[in-house]
Amino acid sequence: MRKVYKKVSGFIIIVLIICGFRYIDGNTSIYSLNDKDKLVEVTNANGNEKILLVNEKYGLSGNYVPEELSIPNILFSNGSSDEEKHVARTVVNPLEELVKAGKKDGIILLGNSGYRSYKSQEDIYKNRVISQGKKLADAYVAKPGFSEHQTGLCIDITNKNGYFAKGSKEADWLADNCYRFGFIIRYPYGKKNITGIEYEPWHIRYVGKEVAKYIHDNRITLEEYLQR
Ligand SMILES: [Zn+2]
């Protein structure tokens, strides 16, 4: 009897969470791709823009694979696996344009890690638990399904010396210019309480030019944008 009660209350909590999230105000609405995947739909001047939200709260299921994964025509760091060189098709042209614009300004950007499958993230997480313990793994590695890399819509950028930190000319250029090509710095400095992730100057996420400009100009995160 106790067990049944537990199950029922668990179910009610899940329903409340799902319904609660639907109440994000304004023009934002959400629908499920499947059981776990949440696509946040935003209405803007150009009509509907669909934005996939993945963070520590909203994850993707194991079988979510972006459509038309492709390898962009950019340079990659030596350590990139074949899988990591892929991004979703919609990201290919903007990414190539971004890298080209950098080159014009004397900035050489390399791709480091784009798409990562659920399985890859699972391996990364498991290995980290084995090497450093669960506590450290939980602090630094996204659990499978909760890494934005599974969307194919983001990529970690690096430079030739592999030191991509604030103050390096490549990281500063990326922070100032990526919005012009539809990308945002997904995990800005000082926003861990909102994004759940420490500052990562190398991780850019494609959201389209209009949304990227808004987020850049207002110095906000994707989470804040979706909850305006
Ligand atoms: Zn990343």
Kindly list the domain boundaries of the chain, sorted by start residue. 64-226
Confidence of residue 2 (pLDDT cuts 50, 70, 90): low
From CA 196, how far away is CA 203, in angstroms rounded? 14
Q: How far is the CA of 121 from the centre of ligand 1 (A)?
A: 12
- Confidence band for 27, pLDDT divided at 50, 70 and 90: very low
Would the CA dihedral through 80, 85, 87, 91 be positive or negative?
positive
Q: Quote the CA–CA distance of 138 and 121 in Å, as a whole number.
A: 13
Taking the centre of ligand 1 as the mean of its atom positions, its distance from the CA of residue 17, in whole angstroms, is: 27
**Rounded average pLDDT over 185-210:** 95
pLDDT score of 28:
43
CATH T-level assignment (fold) for domain 64-226: Muramoyl-pentapeptide Carboxypeptidase; domain 2 (3.30.1380)
Catalytic residue set: 200
Taking residues 28-47, what's their average pLDDT? 54
pLDDT above 90 coverage of the chain, percent: 67
Q: In what order do the strands lie in the sheet with 47-52?
A: 29-32, 38-44, 47-52
Instruction: Name which of 184, 172, 173 is nearest 212 in CA terms.
Output: 184
- What is the distance in A from the centroid of ligand 1 to the CA of 228? 25
